[in-house]
Structure 1
Amino acid sequence: MANFIDRQKERATLEKEYARSGSSLVILYGRRRVGKTTLISEFIKDKKALFYLASEESESQNRIAFQEKVADFINNDLLRAADIKSWDLLFKQIIDAKLPTKPVIVIDEFQYIGKSNSAFPSVFQRIWEEILKKQSVMVILCGSLISMMESQTLSYSSPLYGRRTAQIRLTQIPFRYYREFFPYNERRNLIEMYAVTGGVPKYIESFSNCSDIYQAIEDNVLNQNSYLYDEPNFLLQQEVSEIGSYFSIIRSIAAGNHKISAIASMLEVKVTSLSKYLQTLINLDILEREVPITEENPEKSKKGLYKIKDNYLRFWFAFIYPNRGFIESGNESFVLDKIQKGFISSQAAFVYEDVCREKMWELNANSSWPFCFSKVGRWWNSEEEIDIAALDPDGNNLILGECKFWQEPVGVSVLRSLEEKAYSVEWRKQKRKVWFILFSISGYTDELQQIAANRNDLILSE
C-alpha cells in the first residue's frame, strides 16, 4: 500500500498546529496498528523532526537512547559522549541549537516512560513549562495504550492536563475508503474484506494481496505464525489486568448474548459485577451500547444491547477463539469450512448494516430527502427489528430501512414487510411522515424498481 489514504482531517490538524506561532503540544493516541506512526511519518517527512520511539525499558535507558537521538538530531558529538542524568538538559540542547526551521519532537509510545516512572508526566510538565512552551517548537506525544495515554496526558489528574494545544484519537478508516485500497474488487468483496479487517491499516495491508476473503483468512488468520492469530490477546493484555474476565465477556457477546442479563447468566455472575468491565471495553472502542433510536433517554434506557464494535474482534471471537483446539491440532481446513458456512450470515451481513448506516450520513449530506435527519441507528421492540431508523425531530420525519446482504435481488416482499413493521414504531405516530430506504448488495427486482420509480418516499440504494 504505497499510497497514504484518508486521515485528511488529522493531517490538517497537525499542519495547523505546526503553523501555530510559538509552541504546540499535540497528544495523538489510538489502538495498535491503526496507523499513528505512519500518519506522523507522513507529516514530518518534509520537516526538521526528531522521532523517538520509547521502549518498555527503564526511564534511564529511555533517556540514554533519547540522548543519542538528540545528538544525531543537532549533530553534536560532545553531547553523544556526555554523561547526562537529566531530561531537561536534553530538551534544552534542542532549543539552544538554533535550528533553521521549527523543530518537531515526536515521542512515540510515550506511555512506556510514564509506566516505568509514574513521575515522568510531572517531569515533562516542568520541561514544557520551563523550556519548550515559550519557544518555536512542536511536540507530539503519541501512544498505543489508550487507558495509559488518557491517564498520563489527558485526565484531570494528569500534570499535563490543560497543556495540550490539540488532541487526536486516531480510529479505524471508514469503509468508504476501501475502494482506494482494493481498486479492482467488487463492492461485495470490499464489504467482506471490511467485515474482517475493520478499517485497521495493518490488517488491510495483510489482506491486500488476496482477492478472495477466505484465502485471506486462511493465510493471515488461521496461520498460527501470523500476528493476527493471537492479535486480540496482544491488544488486551496491556490495557487490562484481568484479561480472562474481559475475554469471557466478549466471547459471550460474540455468541449472541447482547443484553447484560444474558451476559451475566452465561458467565454465572451478578449483573452488577459486569458494569466496570463493560465500561472499560466501551472506553477502549471494543464494545458499544446500543438502544433503539427512538429512546428519549438513552443512558437510562433498559433496552440497551451490547455489541462488539471492532470488526476483527467480532470475527475472531465468533470463529477463531472457540475453534483454537481444531486449529492448533492441525485441522485448519475444518475451521475454514465452518467460517465459509457462517461468515455471511453471522459476520458480513451485520457489518453490511454498519456500512449502510454510514452511507445514510452521506445521503443526508447530499440532500437525498427534503429534510436532514439528526440521528440514525436501529429500532427494535420485543417482537420486531428494523435495521435502519433515522429521525428528524424538528420536521417529524422518520426514515426506516432494511439492509440485505443476499445473493439474489431484493423484491417487493421486503418493502411490504418493512411497511408493516413501521406500524410498530410508536414515535410521533399521529403527526409523523414515514420515508423508506432499502439497501441491497445484489440489486432489486424489476417490479420493485418500477414501484420505486413512482414513489417519492422510497429510495433504493446499494
Structure 2
Amino acid sequence: MVGRERELQILREFYDNSDTNVISVTGRTGIGKTTLIKEFVKDKQCIFFTAYSTTEMHQRALFGKAVGIDDDQSTLDQIYSKVTAMSDEGTAVLVIDHYADFAKTDKKFPESLYKYMTTVWKQGTVKLILCDSSSIQMEKSVYGPRAVWNSLHPVILTVDTLYFDEAVKMLPDTDRLTESEIYGITGGIPVLLEIAAEGLKNNPEDAVWRTIERIFLSKFFDFKGSPENILGRELREKAYYDRLMYSLAHGYLRVNQLSEQLGKPKDVVVPYLSTLMKLGLVTKENPVTEPTNRRKTRYSLISDYDRFWYQIIMSRYEDFVNDNRENIKAYWNDHISEYMKPVFIRMCHEYLLRQCRADKMPFSIKNIGSWWENNESTGESDGFDLMATGEAEGKNAYIFARCFFKEQQVDMMDVKELIDLTKKIHNKISTFYLFFSVNGFAENVQTVSQTIRNIMLIDLKDMV
C-alpha cells in the first residue's frame, strides 16, 4: 500500500490504547478507507462486515454470515455472541463499513451495539471501527453531540487524498510533468490513480488525455465519489450547491462574488458554503498574516478532481453530452496552465513542509498559506502563491513563494515582481524568496540565486 503511514499510526495507537475502543473512519468514496483498514487488520483477529442498503432482516442476515452464522434469521445477540467468543482468545477488531447504511436500516442496531461495547466488551476486548463515506451521516450517528457513541469519545480519522510524492509511486515511470498533470486530474484519489496507472502501462502515448477519457468521458466508468453523486446522495437542493461548486471552480472565491453567481443574498450563500465544508468538498482560508480578517476570507474546492469536472468538463457541457471529445481535448490543451497552477501551488506547499520536517531548508515554518490583497473595483486579487512565517538562525523570518506552471522559464522579471510585491508587507526580518518552476530558470536567474542565498530555485523534477 502506498503512503498512509500517518493513518496507520493513528489506527495502531487506537488499538493499543485501553482508554478508547471506538474509532470513526471517514473519507470520500475511492479515497482508500477500506484498503487502509484491511492493511491495518491483516495480522489481527477481525470481523469485517460491509453493510448494504437493504431491509432490517436482510441486513442482520448478512451481518450474521460475516461472523459465521448460516441462518437468515440471525439475531443481533447471536451475532454479538460470536464476537465475544472471538474476543475471549484476545483482542478482536470489529469493522463495520458503510455504517450509516446499517444505522439507518436497523434503528435498534446502534443502541444494542453500544450496550455491548459498554458492558460485555467494556474492558477493551473488542475494538470497533465504524467506517463510511458520508461525513455528515457519521457526525449524526457516531461523533455528533446527539450520537449514541459520543459519550465514548470516539477517535475521528479522516482519510484524505495522497500527496504528490505518494501518488507518483502508484504510477509507472514517466516524466514529472506528466505525473503532475495526472495528479491534478485525479486529485490524488487512489482509485483514480489506479485507472491512470493501468492506462499508462497499456498505452503511454498521450497519457494525460487518455486518463481524462477513462475517468471523465468513458460510458463504462461511473465514479461513485464524483461531486454530482455526493451532492445527489447528501443534499436536497442539489442545483444550488452544484452551481456554487461550478462558480468556485471558475475563480469566484468571495462571498459577494458567489452571491452574484447564484442570485442569492449573502446570508443564504454562507450556510450553503458551510454545508459543503461539512461534506469535505470546500475549504476557506485567510491571508496567513490576517487569519481573522473576514473581509479577506475566500473559499475554494478541496479536490482537484472536483475542480477539473466543473472547470474543464462542465465548461464544455454540450460537447460532453454529445461525446465531442476532440472539442473537449482542444479546450483542455488551451487551459492546461490555468488549471494546473493551483495544483502546482498545492504540490509546492507539500514540498516545503516535507523539506522543513526533514530539516533541509535554511528556515523552519510556523504557519503557511497564502497572502493576497483584494482590488474592490475589479473584484480581483493579487498576492503570493505561498507565504509562510517561521524562523531562521533563531530569528523571525518570512518566506515568500511564486509557483510557475508555464512553458517559459522563470526570468528576472518574474523575480523582480515577487520581490517588489513583498515590500507591501516586508519589515526588517529575515526574508526568503522561493521560485518553483516546471520548465526551469533563465541563466541570469540561476546566477543571481547562486550569489544571493535567500533566493532559492526549485525545479519540478527535484520535488520528489
When the two structures are superposed, what TM-score results if normalisation uses the length of structure 2? Answer: 0.90
Match of 1:239 in 2: 234
Q: 1:118 to 1:401 in 2, by over 3 A?
A: same
**Would you say the 8 A contact 1:146–1:239 is kept in 2?**
no
Amino acid aligned to 2:374 = S
Aligned to 1:58: 55
Q: 1:100 to 1:359 in 2, by over 3 A?
A: same
Q: Is the 8 A contact 2:195 2:214 kept in 1?
A: no
Alignment of 1:74-85 (within 5 A): 79-81=69-71, 83-85=73-75
Alignment check: 8 A CA contact 1:23 1:134 kept:
no
Which sections of structure 1, spanning at least 5 residues, go unmatched? 73-78
Q: Aligned equivalents of 1:225 and 1:84: distance in 2?
A: 37
C-alpha deviations, 1:344-376, integer Å up to 9, x for none? 22x112210111111121232244554422111
Is 2:3 aligned against 1:10?
no
| Contact 1:264–1:271 (CA under 8 A) maintained in structure 2 | yes
Q: What is aligned with 2:347?
A: 355
Distance 1:12 1:461 in 2: 31
Match of 2:276 in 1: 281
Task: Specify whether residues 330 and 361 from structure 1 end up closer, same or farther in structure 2 by C-alpha distance, changes over 3 A only.
Answer: closer
Q: Which moved more, 1:158-167 or 1:239-248?
A: 158-167
Q: Return the alpha-carbon distance in structure 2 between the equivalents of residues 344 and 66 of structure 1.
A: 50
Shift of 1:165: 5.3
Between 325-334 and 22-31, the greater mean CA deviation after superposition: 22-31
AA partner of residue 244 (structure 2): I
The answer for the alignment partner of 1:376 in structure 2 is 368
Three-state SS of the structure 2 residue aligned to 1:227 is: coil
Q: 2:135·2:280 contact (CA, 8 Å) conserved in 1?
A: no
Task: Name the structure 2 match of 1:334.
Answer: 327
Shift of 1:21: 5.4
> Contact 1:249/1:263 (CA < 8 Å) preserved in 2?
yes
**How far did 1:228 drift?**
4.1
Q: How does 1:253-268 map to 2 (within 5 A)?
A: 253-268=248-263
SS of the counterpart of 2:386? strand
Task: Note if contact 1:91-1:131 (Cα within 8 Å) is conserved in structure 2.
Answer: no
Counterpart residue identity of residue 457, structure 1: N
- The correspondence of residues 49-448 of structure 1 with structure 2, limited to 5 A, is 49-70=46-67, 72=68, 79-81=69-71, 83-85=73-75, 87-96=76-85, 100-134=89-123, 136-164=125-153, 166-208=155-197, 209-210=199-200, 211=204, 212-228=207-223, 231-295=226-290, 297-298=291-292, 300-345=293-338, 347-382=339-374, 384-392=382-390, 395-425=395-425, 429-448=426-445
Does the CA contact (< 8 Å) of 1:23 and 1:133 recur in 2? no
Give the partner amino acid of 1:377.
G
Q: Unaligned 5+ residue runs, structure 2?
A: 376-381, 460-464
Tell me by how many angstroms 1:83 deviates. Answer: 4.0
1:324 counterpart SS class:
helix
Alignment CA distance shift 1:395-1:284 (3 Å):
farther
Once the 2 structures are TM-superposed, how far is the Cα of residue 155 of structure 1 from its aligned partner? 1.1
- In structure 2, the CA distance between the partners of 1:106 and 1:294, relative to structure 1 (3 Å rule), is same
Following the alignment from structure 2 to structure 1, what is the Cα–Cα distance between the partners of residues 144 and 348? 35
SS at match of 2:25: strand
* 1:400–1:435 Cα contact (<8 Å) kept: yes
Q: Which amino acid aligns with 1:45?
A: K
CA distance in 1 between partners of 2:87 and 2:448 (Å): 72
Kindly provide the amino acid, as one letter, of the partner of residue 303 in structure 1.
K
- Give the TM-score normalised by the residue count of structure 1: 0.90
| Aligned amino acid, residue 383 of structure 2 | E
Q: CA deviation at 1:219?
A: 2.7
% identical aligned pairs: 23
What CA RMSD, in Å, does the superposition of the two structures yield over aligned residues? 2.2
| Contact 2:182–2:208 under 8 Å retained in 1 | yes
Distance 1:81 1:368 in 2: 60
Local SS of the residue matching 1:107? strand
CA distance in 1, matches of 2:156, 2:371: 34
Amino acid at match of 2:102: I
Are the aligned partners of 1:214 and 1:340 in contact in 2 as well (CA < 8 Å)? no
Q: Which moved more, 1:60-69 or 1:229-238?
A: 229-238
